[in-house]
């Protein structure tokens, strides 16, 4: 019987479970999202989120149980950080209980490293038996992780160690999308809505700041963007804003994407990368996917982009990382760490 990893994710406002058989890939993935619950608060409320995990995780397990031959579960993988402490603790308690009842070992996974690895999931699904060799040929790898809480450029080395080579100095790219959307009266989380409204808009009509201009400085910055949008909106009445919504969203989105693209290109030139990746919630953005794909092509670097279902928070990437990452903490060593950094496994 193939050994199977059962993964638990609960670092923020998604409760998720996944099953992965290393010889077959991900066989089942379930996500329960709390977006509606937090929308009226304009962001995630940690105590509400953790209470939701308490009810959602057992319901997801009940749905998964018919697909689990209990004796085949050898590993329970769980996100141990970074994330919201009450949410991480809820997932960890649940995972610990599962490891006792299935008599399986408990493995702790770093959520940020899982985002980096998520770009490789499709490669593994296509050919599980050859995965290790195929990945070896694609390292070192430059990963761009763009989400609501993080915006990072990470170098994944041949020995699977990771090094952050640049990060945002203020807001994350997803946060910039969400804050801009809020100023425009769009509901939280606003990234996908800004993208939809930007469709057909003229990105040149309104121009917004694009972070730190020096090419050699890989740091990103998005806080000036929302301030510029606020000043722009103050000059317009509601009718004018409504009439120009599509152009405003196109210009705002372009400022975020142009900055990500330019730092991604500059980072590609700093190392001898064989491949590059894009992941995290903002990686759902189709224009961003296309632009980074083209940028990688122009540098003759193979591009791996996480599938949409693996961009936002999900347990598939946690199961995959439990299989694919370097030596991970096990059993009693698995502790929740809300401020875990990329470099720690």
Is the CB of 99 or the CB of 119 nearer to ligand KG4? 119
Nearer to ligand KG4, 104 or 283 (CB): 283
Closer to ligand KG4 by CB, 22 or 189: give it: 189
Helices (H) and strands (E) in the chain, counts: 12, 10
* Side-chain-facing half-sphere of 8: CA atoms under 13 Å: 31
Structural contact between residues 269 and 299, judged by C-beta atoms closer than 8 angstroms: yes
* Minimum distance, C-beta of residue 249 to ligand KG4, in the bound complex (Å): 11
State which residue has the least CB distance to ligand KG4: 281
* Of 185, 141, 165, 181, residue with least CA distance to 282: 181
Q: How far is the CB of 24 from ligand KG4 (least distance, A)?
A: 26
Beta carbon nearer to ligand KG4, 9 or 247: 9
Question: Nearest distance from residue 226's CB to ligand KG4, in Å?
Answer: 13
In order, the DSSP letters of 94-128 are HHHHHHHHTT-EEEEEEHHHHHHHHTTHHHHHH-G
Q: Which is nearer to ligand KG4, 16 or 73 (CB)?
A: 16
Question: How are strands ordered across the β-sheet holding 141-146?
Answer: 162-167, 151-156, 141-146, 275-279, 302-305
| Minimum separation from the CB atom of position 274 to ligand KG4 (A) | 26
DSSP 330: B
Q: How far is the CB of 84 from ligand KG4 (least distance, A)?
A: 10
Q: Which is nearer to ligand KG4, 43 or 224 (CB)?
A: 43
Residues that bind ligand KG4 (CB under 6 A): 12, 147-149, 174, 177-178, 189-192, 195, 280-282, 284-285, 312-313
Residue in 325, 299, 271 with CA at minimum distance from that of residue 117: 325
What is the enclosing helix (H) or strand (E) of 174? helix 173-183
CA-CA-CA-CA torsion sign (134, 113, 47, 181)? negative
Tokens 């070192």 belong to which residue?
A: 140
Least distance to ligand KG4, CB of residue 93, Å: 22
Q: Identify which of residues 21 and 48 has a Cβ nearer to ligand KG4 in the complex.
A: 48
Contacts of 236 (CB under 8 A, 6+ apart): 244
Return the structure tokens found at 175.
Answer: 């946060």
Shortest Cβ 44–ligand KG4 spacing (Å): 7
């Amino acid at each position: 019987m193939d050994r199977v990893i059962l993964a638990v994710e609960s670092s923020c406002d998604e409760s998720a479970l996944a099953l992965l058989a290393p010889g077959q890939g991900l066989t089942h993935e379930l996500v329960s999202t709390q977006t509606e619950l937090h929308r009226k608060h304009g962001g995630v409320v940690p105590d509400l989120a953790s209470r939701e995990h308490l009810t959602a995780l057992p319901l997801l397990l009940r749905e998964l149980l018919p697909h689990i031959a209990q004796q085949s579960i050898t590993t329970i993988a769980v996100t141990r950080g970074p994330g919201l402490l009450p949410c991480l603790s809820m997932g960890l308690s649940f995972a610990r209980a599962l490891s006792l009842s299935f008599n399986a070992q408990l493995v702790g996974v770093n959520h940020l490293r899982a985002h980096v690895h998520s770009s490789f999931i499709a490669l593994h699904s296509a050919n599980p038996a050859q995965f290790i060799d195929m990945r070896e040929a694609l390292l070192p790898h430059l990963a761009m992780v763009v989400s609501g809480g993080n915006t990072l450029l990470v170098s994944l080395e041949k020995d699977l160690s990771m090094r952050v080579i640049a990060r945002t100095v203020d807001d994350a790219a997803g946060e910039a999308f969400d804050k801009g959307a809020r100023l425009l009266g769009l509901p939280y989380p606003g990234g996908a809505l800004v993208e939809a409204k930007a469709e057909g808009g003229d990105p040149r009509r309104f121009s917004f700041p694009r972070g730190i201009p020096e090419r050699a400085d890989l740091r990103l910055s998005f806080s000036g963007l929302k301030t510029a949008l606020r000043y722009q909106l103050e000059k317009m009445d509601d009718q004018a804003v409504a009439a120009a919504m599509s152009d405003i969203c196109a210009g705002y989105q372009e400022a975020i994407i142009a900055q990500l693209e330019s730092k991604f290109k500059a980072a590609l030139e700093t190392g001898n990368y064989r491949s590059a990746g894009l992941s995290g919630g903002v990686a759902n953005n189709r224009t961003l996917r296309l632009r980074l794909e083209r940028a990688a092509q122009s540098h003759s670097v193979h591009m791996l982009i996480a599938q949409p279902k693996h961009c936002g928070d999900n347990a598939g990437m946690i199961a995959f990382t439990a299989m694919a990452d370097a030596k991970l903490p096990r059993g009693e060593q698995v502790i929740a760490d809300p401020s875990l950094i990329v470099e720690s496994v």
